[in-house]
Amino acid sequence: MTRSPLLPALLAATLILSLLHPGVAAAARGKLFSVAKYGAVGDGKTMDTAAIEKTIDAAAAQGGTVTFPAGVYLTGSLFLKAGVTLRIGGGVTLTGSQHIEDYPMMPTRVAGIEMTWPAALINVYKQSHVRIEGSGVIDGNGRVFWEVFFKLRKLYVPKGMRWAADYDARRPRLIQIFDSSDVTLGGGLKLQRSGFWTVHICYSQHVVVNGVTINNNIDGKGPSTDGVDIDSSSHILVEHVDVTNNDDALCLKAGRDADGLRVNRPTEDVVIRDSIIRQAAAGVTFGSETSGGFRNITIYHLRVLAPTPNGILFKSAQTRGGYAKDIRIHDITTVGVPTVFRMTMNWYPQYSYARIPPGMKDVPSYYRTMATPVPLSKGIEQVQDVRIWNVQATGARTAFDVNGYPTEPLEDFTLKHWNVQAQRAGHLDYVKDWKFKDVVLHTVDGSRLLVEHGSGVTGIPTAAQPAAGEQ
């Protein structure tokens, strides 16, 4: 009996929702606690951190909901507690302090490395049954932190230390969900101007992100302002997300290099669906932190728009290791996106490979962690059992830019029902057992997909000239 390709996605989504429902319902109920009663001013000038935290403590004692009268609430890091709902309604803005000392240092994982780092603006840290909801705004006010990074990167690049800039420029994330369970985020929230990643779900399970708009390009292009990062976590549902930023939009991660291999914790049982990516590095991204691996991932109904450069992106490096398997991606539309499908196992070498300059002394401990050698036998990600179907692409430059590794070819891919309009077909390098079925490439230059160092590739699509008006 042939199994429907939709069945795994439906089962995964049903499982996630059934597991989350009791916690969500519990967090949504309870007494209302207004921050005004506990001294919050909401004038955009007064620091309201302490008053909001008092309100959270009071709500936690009864499993209640924190509410805000209309206003702008200036705050540093906030820490939600079990059983609390944080309701940010229409007319309410939480805006982040621009002073880094208002974000206390704490143990976490950042860009694949366990280290001490500033807390996020909103933190769900080792908690359960927490809800963040409403149609208001959470504004990281992050431009000052972007400038710190830009200055540091400019200083580090000539020294061969581009890899260290993201870790030394300590920038607060907007929302951190760390080592937590039964958490929901959404309901129409607007998330903007994050200092670093916007929503980071790490070491957590049973989390739903449903109905958020992310815009980190309001007053400039915020560097490394990923949209939603799912990091070594399981049973995650992300849906109805609208993303404009300057890095990965919807991203799966699982640790970096020796530290990620030590932790060895996968990202698994994930559904991402029904979202739009207006501007980002890619529509959906696997990596580059791949060390713990990815499995049972379902992604569908994404619309990816220019100037986003990539539709579907897999990226890793020769020190990352890990794996990706049982991956299902379908019903993807790209419009004006230059590269429809890109895979690289040697992504951004300046960033990916940490080498401490000779003679440098008294370096941070995380430098040594990042520079710990990884044998090549453990450093190449193994990618196999990937199914991608129902892809529609217009206005592309390249359909395929796929680069495996000689010792670990990208294996067992099935691509069905693609219709791509592009300048050129592109190439596959170091692949094994790829099956194309009903894949049509309308190429301006008449090129055919080039397979280099490949074996067992069947159904290679022929080129068809685009119809008038397609380009």
Percent of the chain scoring above 70 in pLDDT: 92
Domains and CATH numbers, the chain: 7-464 (2.160.20.10)
Q: What is the CB-side half-sphere exposure of residue 140 using CA atoms within 13 A?
A: 34
Q: Residue 233, by phi and psi: left (phi above 0), alpha (psi -120 to 50) or beta?
A: beta
Angle at 164 between CA 160 and CA 167, to 5 degrees: 170
pLDDT of 220 reads 85
Residues 276-292: tens digit of each pLDDT: 999 999 999 999 999 99
> What pairing do the DSSP bridges indicate for beta strands 122-125 and 175-178?
parallel
Average pLDDT over residues 158-186: 97
Alpha-helical runs (H) found in 245-354: 257-263, 349-352
Instruction: Specify the DSSP class assigned to residue 220.
Output: S
Task: Answer yes or no: is pLDDT of 441 > 80.
Answer: yes
- Which residues, listed in sequence order, are joined to residue 454 by a DSSP beta bridge? 431
Structure token pair of residue 34: 């207004």
The burial of 205, by beta-carbon neighbours within 10 Å (0-12 exposed, 13-18 middle, 19 or more buried), is given as buried
pLDDT of 135 reads 98
Task: Answer yes or no: is pLDDT of 415 > 50.
Answer: yes
Residues 304-332: tens digit of each pLDDT: 999 999 999 999 999 999 999 999 999 99
Three-state SS for 1-42 is CCCCCCHHHHHHHHHHHHHHHHHHHHHHCCCEEEHHHHCCCC
Residues 19-74: tens digit of each pLDDT: 444 444 444 458 999 999 999 999 999 999 999 999 999 999 999 999 999 999 99
Model confidence, pTM: 0.93
- The answer to whether the beta carbons of residues 129 and 82 sit under 8 Å apart is yes
Report in angstroms the alpha-carbon separations of 436 from 164, 298, 389, 413.
41, 20, 10, 8
Torsion of CA 94, 27, 295, 191, to 10 degrees: -10
Average pLDDT over residues 377-385: 97
Average pLDDT over residues 404-417: 97
The candidate with the shortest Cα–Cα distance to 341, out of 279, 380, 386, 291, is: 386
pLDDT of 13 reads 46
How many Cβ atoms from other residues are within 10 Å of residue 173's Cβ?
Answer: 29
Torsion of CA 196, 199, 205, 211, to 10 degrees: -170
- The answer to whether the beta carbons of residues 35 and 71 sit under 8 Å apart is no
Phi (first) and psi of residue 379, to 5 degrees: -95, -15
Instruction: Specify the DSSP class assigned to residue 405.
Output: B
Distance of CA 450 to the CA centre of its chain: 31
Task: Answer yes or no: is pLDDT of 17 > 80.
Answer: no
Report in angstroms the alpha-carbon separations of 470 from 338, 401, 440.
15, 21, 14
- The answer to whether the beta carbons of residues 445 and 422 sit under 8 Å apart is no
- Which residues, listed in sequence order, are joined to residue 313 by a DSSP beta bridge? 285, 342
Distant-in-sequence, close-in-space partners of 190: CB < 8 Å, separation ≥ 6: 135, 136, 137, 138, 212, 213, 215
Structure token pair of residue 444: 């301006």
The candidate with the shortest Cα–Cα distance to 130, out of 28, 272, 7, is: 28
